[in-house]
Structures are given as C-alpha cells and as structure tokens.
Amino acid sequence: MKNVIVGTAGHVDHGKTTLLKALTGVDLDTLKEEQKRGITINPGYSTLENDRNIDIGIIDVPGHEKFVHNMLTGIGGVDLVLLLVSAEEGIMPQTREHFEIVKALGSDKGIVVITKTDLVDPEFVPMVEEEVKAMVKGSFLEDAPMIPVSAYTGDNIEKLRTTILDMAETIDGPPRDKSLARLPVDRVFTIAGHGTVVTGTLVEGSIEKGDVLSLYPSLKETTVRSIQVHSKEADAAYGGQRVALNVTLKKEDIAIGDVLAPPNALPLTEQVDVSITMFQSTEKILLNSSRVHVNYGSGEVIARVILFGNDELHPEEKGYGQLRFEEAIPLRKDDPFVLRFFSPVESMAGGKVLEVKPKRHKRRDPAVVEELAKKETGDDTTILAMALAENRYRYDSDEALAHRLGFTPTRFADALGALQKEGVAIPLIEGVTVHKDTVDGAFLSVQNILARYHEDFPLETGMPKQSLRHQLAQVEHLDDDRLTDGFIQLFFAMRKLVDHGLRVEETGFTATLTPEQEKQWDAAEKIALNAGFEFANDDDFKRVGKKYDQILKFMTESGTLVTLANGRIHKDYFDKAVALAMDMIEKDGALKLADFRNAIDTSRKYAVDILDKMDEMGYTLFKDGVRVKA
C-alpha cells in the first residue's frame, strides 16, 4: 500500500480545520484551547478513507503567526500541499509565509483551495483566483489544480476529494529501506499501563515492532514496544505515515525535535554547508554572521550564518553559506530547513543541506561557491565523488558516507560501482573506499618520505617498512593501522612500490653515487679484485674511508660483492668459483673440499666459506662429506 501525507497551509481562520472535517469527518481542533480560540495551535492528524489502496494521512497545521513553529513541525514530510485561501479575505500575511515555507521545504505537488465561497458573491471568486495565480507564478503551484469549495454547503468537496486521490496516485512515496528510518518527534506523552509514546511523520524508511532505535542527539537507545499508524495497531510503519511508537525510554528523556533512527544511522553535526533562498515576502535582509533560528524536521536550533561570496542576501535572492549551530543536531544531505529572524522571530528564508560535517571555508573563494552549486544539482555519482574527495584525512566508512548522504545501500552501491569503473573510486580496505585524488596524494606523501630518507641514507636501496608506515600515518592522519597498511599494499599492487620484505623502495629507484662515493667504490672494488679467492674482510675495506660500511652494503645489494661468513668476495671471482665447482661435479659426480681448494689455489678456510655460500644460494648440496648439484 502506498503512503501519502497531505498537509494544509494558509492564513489563520481561512477554514483549514473546517475543510478537513468535511473531507474526513474528523474535527482536528482537539485541544480545549483550540476549541475555545477557534484556531489550530498544534498540528492535528486524520486519514482520508478511500477505495484506491492508498494510505493518506491528513495534517492540519496552525495558521496563526504565533504558532508558525508548530506549523513547521507539522508541514515537514508532506507529499501533497493544500494551500487554502479564503474567498472572503484573499491572500493574507500567513498565506504568503506558509507558501514560502512549503516551497522551502521541498514540496513539489499541491492543490490551491479557495475556501468559504458561500460567504461571497460568485463574481468575487475569480478575482481571488487571479490574485493567487500571480502569487504562485513560477512555483510548483503554477499549474496546480485550483478548486473553489464551501465546507458549509459541501460545494465541490467531492471534486476536491477526487483530485486529492488522483494526485496521490502519482506520488511514489519515500523509500522504505530500514537503514533510512527517521522519525522526528513532534509529540511525547505517557499512557497509563503502557509508558512513553512518541508521535511524528516517518520521513522515510520503515520501523518494525521490536526494533532498537537511537534517540538523536542524546544517542540513548530504546526498543519499540508497539506501533500505531493513523491510530490503528500495526506491526510496522513506513515512510509517509503518521506514526505513534510506544518506546522504553522515559518521557523526560525525549524532547520535541529529537529524532528516532537506527543506531549509527544519523550523523550529528555542528555545522552544515547549505543553499539559502530568501523569501519574496520577507522584509528582512540576511547579513553575514547573523544569528538565526533554524527549523528542521520537528526541531529548532540557533545558528550563525556564514555567507560565501556575499555580505548579505535580500528578498528573493539566493546564495550559499554555512550554518554553525550552537549544539550538534542530526541532519542528512538534502534535508530542507527554514531560517527565521533572531528577534523578532519571523520566517525569512528556506534552504537545503548540501554537506554534513564540512570543513570551514574561505568566504571569498569562488571555488567554494562552485563546489556547493555542484552539490546542489549534481547526480548521485557526482555527489558521491565529491564526498569521497572530501573524505581524505577523515576516512569515514562507506556505510557512514551513505548515511550522511541519505543514500540507500542499493543507491550507494550503484553510484560507487559507476565511480569504480571510471577509476575515480578505489577500494582501500574492507568497507572503506577512497577517491583517486586521495590515493595520488598519499603516494606523493610516500615519495616525499622516501626522498627524505634517501637524502640521509643515499646508498640504501630501500627504507625500512615499519618506519615508512609510521611516517605515512602521521602525514596522512591515519589513526587506524589498517588504513596505513591498506595504502602500502595498494601501492604494491599498483606497482608503485617494490616490497623487499622488511624494506620498501619506489619502483624504478636507483641509488646515485656522489663523485666522492664513486672513488670509494672504485677503491673497494680494487681491494676485492686484488684479494681474488682469498676474499677481503672489513679491516681490509676500512682503507676506503669514512662510511665505508655504507659503500660495502650498497656494493653487496647491487651484486658487485658477495657476502661470505668471514668477508666479501668480488662477484667475478664468486662466479668463477661456481662455474668451476659445477664443472668438477659434472665430471666427477661429486665435489670434495680438498679438490676444490686445490683448484682455486687457496687455503681451506677460504674454500669452506665459498662452498658454504654456494650451498646457501642453492647451487650445491652438502651430502655424505661431499657436494653435489642441488
């Protein structure tokens, strides 16, 4: 069954509650104070019964200027707006304000209802219709149905009901994925024998009886004992439904404006990047660094507005900025909000969240405005690519990114798959994907680290792996060893680095000798060649000069010298020894120590070291007192 929420908007006493009573048969002025005043103070809720298998919830929101906050609480999450204008009074201040608010909150379907037609002469109704057409021109209501009705006589009530049902059939409704479940709390009370009950409009996702949810921003967990949807018991609730949940938390733990959602599903943020559109009807100017009231979901918070590229925004102007809240609140990308002047409290602008948990930006940087414009209009792959690029140094998990962007797992996987095919998104470790620019930046850090190391140790063929890990973690702000190892393993797989076990070097790296070191090399090689099979030891090589040990290590790693148990032999002599040993084994079937010693014309101690090295390198095998081919 499809779920659709219909909400009213309009000036006080323009007949919203009376009209909805005619449509639903329910008087939504339920509170004594509301009955006494004849105006709606809190949002009222009912259902529109029908035979089209559509679950339609009706919200009657307050019209009085003193209760605009209550109106904001009710109108959030509405799929279809009924904008009511009295034929008797025409457009009034709260008419314009409510119209601006529903536009700001992202409403895209609606019906204009001209009420109280029984109180005016028939020729007066077209005049009001023309006035309304002028107001809604260029908006989502420009081509919307406009229906004159009388709740008192019943005139056109059935036509309005049919139009609501026809439009409801064209509404897809919010996604039902459980990971997106979000219930802004607009009422909290207790029922004897049952405990705490919260109500709200389930913005998206689904909630089932027995689910464990977190209360944001306190992060206290609670279990759903029972569920009512439109005052009827249910096992589950779905996005687009009016919901009452019996929960295990105490009433005093919950406040209007709190949000119930799955644990770890909503980011808490103290600042967001936003688009802001000033209301046409406002007389206020939004100045940079102004303090404002921000209404979101069913909550309200005070924030400071930082404007990018502008010092002020005037009526009807649009701009980009950052809201810095006085407390952390739960938001996702694309969440709508309304800005109200700090004092006196008047609605003046609406907008949309473009980035949750952003960094602070330079106000005059044109690139900031360009990036935010892309975030506002970009498709899923563009949005995800930008989020991945900004995730450097934070390394949020894929799941956390999906929650922040408000993507379902399927939607996130589709966008991520497309970016991986393009080479933009690269898996780093299980559950963490990074942007290719992050990979490039991390490898540049590796190159810089290796360059500094080789300045200090110019003849080393590689840097100790553990040292590289430590320095890379510091430079890239990697507080998880898995991320550091992930980068290094990725660079091995990309053949950007060569793994030498305990050491690492950049692919294609070759150590370069200074003129002084080249002289030391020549001197050391001459010593080794002169020693022949009677190899030289460290005492012999000390004559090379300072840091002779680095020269010997470099010559050994490059293959010019071969390290034996008691010294180093030049590769030319070692190769000759190997060739001679192989020939003797081929001829005699085995090689005796004495025969090899005589063949190379040296003493036993040198011959033993050379033969042991051959065994170690896999040329020969010592067996029964002789050596054979390995």
Read off the pLDDT of residues 71-107 as tens digits, 9 standing for 90 and up.
Answer: 454 445 678 999 999 999 999 988 998 898 888 877 8
Q: pLDDT class for 28, splitting at 50, 70, 90?
A: low
Does position 70 have pLDDT exceeding 70, yes or no?
Answer: no
Q: Which pLDDT does position 24 carry in this prediction?
A: 86
The rounded Cα 279 to chain-centroid distance in angstroms is 30
- Rounded to whole angstroms, the Cα distance separating 197 from 88 reads 41
What does the angle CA 227 – CA 69 – CA 247 come to, to the nearest 5 degrees?
Answer: 20
What average pLDDT does the structure give for the chain? 90
- The amino acid at residue 271 is Q
Give the C-alpha distances (Å, rounded to integers) separating 396 from 389, 392, 415.
Answer: 11, 9, 17
Q: Which pLDDT does position 510 carry in this prediction?
A: 77
**DSSP string for residues in 287-316:** ETT-EEEEEETTEEEEEEEEEES-SEE-TT
pLDDT higher at 397 or 36: 397
Does position 31 have pLDDT exceeding 60, yes or no?
Answer: no
What does the angle CA 125 – CA 128 – CA 129 come to, to the nearest 5 degrees?
Answer: 85
pLDDT in tens, 205-250: 999 999 999 999 999 999 999 999 877 899 999 988 889 999 999 9
Does position 14 have pLDDT exceeding 70, yes or no?
Answer: yes
Other beta carbons less than 10 A from residue 172's beta carbon = 9
Q: Which pLDDT does position 68 carry in this prediction?
A: 43
pLDDT in tens, 354-396: 999 999 999 999 999 999 999 999 999 999 999 999 999 999 9
Does position 176 have pLDDT exceeding 50, yes or no?
Answer: yes
Q: Which pLDDT does position 61 carry in this prediction?
A: 64
Q: Which pLDDT does position 15 carry in this prediction?
A: 79
Does position 505 have pLDDT exceeding 60, yes or no?
Answer: yes
The pair of three-digit structure tokens given for residue 192, joined into one six-digit string = 């004897």
Q: pLDDT class for 42, splitting at 50, 70, 90?
A: very low
Q: What is the mean pLDDT of residues 255-281?
A: 95
Determine phi and psi for 155, rounding to 5 degrees: -60, 125
- Rounded to whole angstroms, the Cα distance separating 87 from 492 reads 75
Q: Which pLDDT does position 63 carry in this prediction?
A: 37
Q: Which pLDDT does position 281 carry in this prediction?
A: 87
Lowest mean pLDDT among 227-241, 271-285, 420-434: 227-241
Contact between 340 and 346 (Cβ < 8 Å): yes
Question: What is the largest distance, in Å, between two alpha-carbon atoms of the chain?
Answer: 131
Q: Which pLDDT does position 74 carry in this prediction?
A: 42
Does position 38 have pLDDT exceeding 70, yes or no?
Answer: no
Evaluated on CA atoms 345, 346, 352, 355, the torsion sign reads negative
Q: Which pLDDT does position 456 carry in this prediction?
A: 81
Does position 44 have pLDDT exceeding 90, yes or no?
Answer: no
Q: What is the mean pLDDT of residues 483-500?
A: 96
- Rounded to whole angstroms, the Cα distance separating 224 from 244 reads 10
Kindly give, in sequence order, each residue whose CB lies less than 8 Å from that of residue 408, ignoring residues fewer than 6 positions away.
Answer: 175, 177, 179, 180, 402
Does position 39 have pLDDT exceeding 50, yes or no?
Answer: no
pLDDT in tens, 104-159: 877 889 999 999 999 999 999 999 999 999 999 999 999 999 999 999 999 999 99
Does position 475 have pLDDT exceeding 70, yes or no?
Answer: yes
- Please name each of the domains of the chain with its CATH number: 2-170 (3.40.50.300), 178-261 (2.40.30.10), 272-374 (2.40.30.10), 378-512 (1.10.10), 515-629 (1.10.10.10)
pLDDT higher at 431 or 76: 431
